[in-house]
Amino acid sequence: MSRLATTAVALFVSFLGLALVPAAQAKKIAAYPSPGVKVASPTTQISFRGIKPGALGRISVRGSRSGIHRGRVEAHSDGRGASFLPFKPFQTQERVTVYSRSNIFYGTGRHRYSFATGQIVPKSWRAEPQVPARGATPPDWTSYKTFRYKVPDISIKTSSPAANDGLIFLAPRTNGPMIVDREGNLVYYDPGLRITDFRVQRFRGKPVLTWWRRAQIGNKVASFYTILNRNYKVIKQFHAGNGYTSDPHEFTMAGRNTAFVNGFRTVVMDLRRFGGLKRTPVMDNVAQEIDLKTGLVMWEWHSIGNVRINETYMKIPRRITRPFDYFHLNSIERDKDGNMLLSARHARALYKVNRLTGKIMWRMAGKKSDFKIGKGMYFAYQHDFRREPDGTYSLFDNGAGGPALPRVSKRSKGIIFRINQKKRTTTLVQSFYHPEGILSNSQGNTQVLPDGNVFVGWGDKKTCTEYNRRGNVLFDLWYSAQQVSYRCYSDPWVGTPPASQIAVRSMAAGDHSRVWVSWNGDTRVATWRVLAGNPGRLAYAGQTRRDGFETTLPVDGHPAQFRLIGLDASGKVIGRSKLNKLGQLTN
């Protein structure tokens, strides 16, 4: 059967004349926006999961103000669902009812369900300081002969042989994505990009680099997610679905061809019952799973309608200066039973959400906790809630939220803990504190490495640290930048940039010459060989082992031209530079 996107159009009929299949025979399916959502996007698609696209049957969609909606049905790439894409948007503040002839919707037990659209605050683009093309000048920097940019300085305070040898991935906000090795040497830097969540993940079975990016052209802003291959070539860009703004807090691969992301949109709400204003712009945090082959939404969850406004620890606004971010979703994770784990910084709580219905299964911490929090495990303003393969869970506890939120801890920490979901209890396995007593007001992450070591990014304190499972520090890195990296990670990575990126600079030095060479992003070169001579007559002039990001090679005399050749550890040639004339920089 060919894709429904090109062959099928949904048939629309009046629900009253629809011959329904008895409930005992009907297929149960999940639908998104979920039943009861109050502020869905007027441009939403309606996604159905748990059924083969060809078995979906007749679907009818009616808006309370806009009437019956026609559209097309597109299949999800995994063959286990499809999305209905209306030909025209819904109206704001209307109730949308979805009818099925042969399916029952989870959360209703019926052949129909409904959701409402919200009153949307129009986007108002505002000018923001753009990241300089060369990256912001760091307070302290390293410069290179072959690289035109000032690179944030890296300082290694602790380095133990017991630490991993994975590379370190950072993205200071006003500089750009960086990779450095365990000695503090630069491996890769792409200045001028506003990036968050820069790390190694797997896409279609292969290792890739991923990030969220914000780009501004004039007074227009675009936010999107990016996947790069080992050549540092962009192979995929996509946005949050259903018209939501792509949020920088989460981009986690959820499967071979899907990703968890979070988006947001501002809606108007009446907050008078919470001590606020009648018309308050409130940020709706939206969690999604995106089908990367089709761009369709496979799952969606909204904070508004599921978490009450007064669960926030932010002050209810009495004067409007910006959208009220009462929830602040910052991580999305799938639990072992397939349901979803969410972290909300401004509610100081963790949530487990039923993937099929969107209903909250439990809250941990915050104002309405269902759990007894174990000794040593108290947390607040947290980030990066994850389920680990061994059945434990990890979290970064900020303990402070900056000037707008009261501090509740003296030190931030990474934690590993266990959850007893039946007894509603938690048990601390291990805490990870920084030896300098860091208290991080924002951002941060806790990454459990494959060997059991733990790598902690300390958010706004510009440092990241590796521990063994007993909490002992094995590695500690600090970076100098004007702004911070949201998270930092340690992962193995093999970078294979094109040979056109090999940079060479040569210069006469007395009776001899000196040549500098670098290859931004390469991880394979072990030795650099230099050829030198006159045009058309280059000859071997020496070689030396790679020395960090930039290697210096001495050459006898003053040859007119140079070519640098990179060899891997086995002596195989893996890259040749362009010809370089004495006294020039070439790349």
Question: Mind listing the pLDDT tens digit for each residue in 92-119?
Answer: 999 999 999 999 999 999 999 999 999 9
Question: Mind listing the pLDDT tens digit for each residue in 289-344?
Answer: 999 999 999 999 999 999 999 999 999 999 998 999 999 999 999 999 999 999 99
The pLDDT of residue 308:
97
Q: How confident is the model at residue 219 (pLDDT cuts 50, 70, 90)?
A: confident
3-state secondary structure 427-470: EEEEEECCCCCCCCCCCCEEEECCCCCEEEECHHHCEEEEECCC
Is the predicted pLDDT of residue 14 greater than 50, yes or no? Answer: no
Q: Are residues 487 and 503 in the same domain?
A: no
Separation between Cα atoms, residue 463 and residue 432, nearest integer Å: 14
Question: Mind listing the pLDDT tens digit for each residue in 51-76?
Answer: 999 999 999 999 999 999 999 999 99
* 503 neighbors 518 (Cβ within 8 angstroms): yes
E strands within 338-392? 340-344, 349-353, 360-365, 383-387
* Distances, alpha carbon 566 to alpha carbons 231, 503, 510, 528, 540, in Å: 16, 12, 27, 5, 13
Tell me what percent of the residues of the chain surpass a pLDDT of 90: 90
Residue 448 placed within a domain:
yes
Separation between Cα atoms, residue 141 and residue 218, nearest integer Å: 29
Radius of gyration in angstroms for the set of CA atoms belonging to the chain, rounded to a whole number: 27
Q: Are residues 71 and 96 in the same domain?
A: yes
Residue 135 placed within a domain:
yes
The pLDDT of residue 126:
63
Q: Are residues 89 and 133 in the same domain?
A: no
The pLDDT of residue 487:
98
Q: What are phi and psi of 576, to 5 degrees?
A: -125, 135
Please name which of 542, 548, 546 lies closest in space to residue 568, comparing C-alpha atoms: 546
Question: Mind listing the pLDDT tens digit for each residue in 510-538?
Answer: 999 999 999 999 999 999 999 999 998 99
* 417 neighbors 428 (Cβ within 8 angstroms): yes
Looking up residue 43, the CATH number of its domain turns out to be 2.60.40.3780
Residue 343 placed within a domain:
no
Expressed as residue numbers, the domain containing 569 is 499-586
Backbone dihedral region for residue 229 (phi beyond 0: left; psi -120 to 50: alpha; all else: beta): beta
Q: Are residues 97 and 151 in the same domain?
A: no
Separation between Cα atoms, residue 337 and residue 564, nearest integer Å: 54
* Distances, alpha carbon 553 to alpha carbons 74, 196, 483, in Å: 58, 36, 35
Query: How many CB atoms are located within 10 Å of the residue 346 CB?
Result: 24
Separation between Cα atoms, residue 9 and residue 523, nearest integer Å: 50
* 551 neighbors 524 (Cβ within 8 angstroms): no
Please name which of 436, 382, 380, 383 lies closest in space to residue 409, comparing C-alpha atoms: 380
* Distances, alpha carbon 303 to alpha carbons 30, 214, 283, 342, in Å: 18, 23, 9, 10
Residue 472 placed within a domain:
yes
Is the predicted pLDDT of residue 582 greater than 50, yes or no? Answer: yes
How much is the average pLDDT of 540-551?
Answer: 98
Instruction: Retrieve residue 150's tokens.
Output: 């000032």
Mapped onto helix, strand or coil, the DSSP state of residue 89 is coil
Burial class (CB in 10 A: 0-12, 13-18, 19+), 573: exposed
More confident site: 259 or 122: 259
Query: How many CB atoms are located within 10 Å of the residue 20 CB?
Result: 17
Fill in the amino acid letter for 497. Answer: P
Q: Are residues 376 and 465 in the same domain?
A: yes
* Distances, alpha carbon 190 to alpha carbons 148, 178, 459, 470, in Å: 11, 7, 21, 36
Of 81, 116, 151, which residue is a domain's last?
A: 116
The pLDDT of residue 20:
53
Q: How confident is the model at residue 12 (pLDDT cuts 50, 70, 90)?
A: very low
Mapped onto helix, strand or coil, the DSSP state of residue 310 is helix
Residue that the structure tokens 């020039």 belong to: 584
Looking up residue 540, the CATH number of its domain turns out to be 2.60.40.10
* 283 neighbors 266 (Cβ within 8 angstroms): yes
Q: Which residues pair with 353 in a beta bridge?
A: 340, 360
Residue 383 placed within a domain:
yes
Mapped onto helix, strand or coil, the DSSP state of residue 55 is helix
The pLDDT of residue 221:
83
Instruction: Retrieve residue 263's tokens.
Output: 């988006």
Q: Are residues 139 and 170 in the same domain?
A: yes
Question: Mind listing the pLDDT tens digit for each residue in 463-496?
Answer: 999 999 999 999 999 999 999 999 999 999 999 9
How much is the average pLDDT of 207-231?
Answer: 91
* 490 neighbors 474 (Cβ within 8 angstroms): no
* 481 neighbors 440 (Cβ within 8 angstroms): no
Separation between Cα atoms, residue 230 and residue 500, nearest integer Å: 15
Is the predicted pLDDT of residue 563 greater than 70, yes or no? Answer: yes
Mapped onto helix, strand or coil, the DSSP state of residue 410 is coil
Rounded to the nearest integer, the mean pLDDT of the chain is 94
The pLDDT of residue 3:
41
Is the predicted pLDDT of residue 560 greater than 80, yes or no? Answer: yes
Is the predicted pLDDT of residue 1 greater than 60, yes or no? Answer: no
Q: How confident is the model at residue 404 (pLDDT cuts 50, 70, 90)?
A: confident
Residue 228 placed within a domain:
no
How much is the average pLDDT of 4-17?
Answer: 36
- Spatial neighbors of 536 by CB under 8 A, at least 6 apart, are none
Count how many domains the chain has.
3
Separation between Cα atoms, residue 418 and residue 425, nearest integer Å: 8
Run of H or E residues at 553: strand 550-556
The pLDDT of residue 340:
98
Q: Give the lowest-confidence range in 210-224, 530-544, 553-567.
A: 210-224
Q: Are residues 430 and 404 in the same domain?
A: yes
The pLDDT of residue 125:
60
Residue 73 placed within a domain:
yes
Of 93, 116, 139, which residue is a domain's last?
A: 116
The pLDDT of residue 567:
98
Fill in the amino acid letter for 368. Answer: K
Query: How many CB atoms are located within 10 Å of the residue 538 CB?
Result: 17
Q: Are residues 475 and 516 in the same domain?
A: no
Is the predicted pLDDT of residue 7 greater than 70, yes or no? Answer: no
Q: Are residues 52 and 156 in the same domain?
A: no
The DSSP secondary-structure symbol of 374 reads: P
Residue 46 placed within a domain:
yes
Q: Are residues 474 and 534 in the same domain?
A: no
Tell me what percent of the residues of the chain surpass a pLDDT of 70: 95
Mapped onto helix, strand or coil, the DSSP state of residue 273 is helix
Strand 454-457 to 463-467 pairing: antiparallel
Q: Are residues 521 and 574 in the same domain?
A: yes
Separation between Cα atoms, residue 175 and residue 131, nearest integer Å: 7
Of 94, 116, 138, which residue is a domain's last?
A: 116
Q: Are residues 468 and 511 in the same domain?
A: no
Q: How confident is the model at residue 350 (pLDDT cuts 50, 70, 90)?
A: very high
* Distances, alpha carbon 82 to alpha carbons 46, 87, 365, 472, in Å: 9, 16, 36, 49
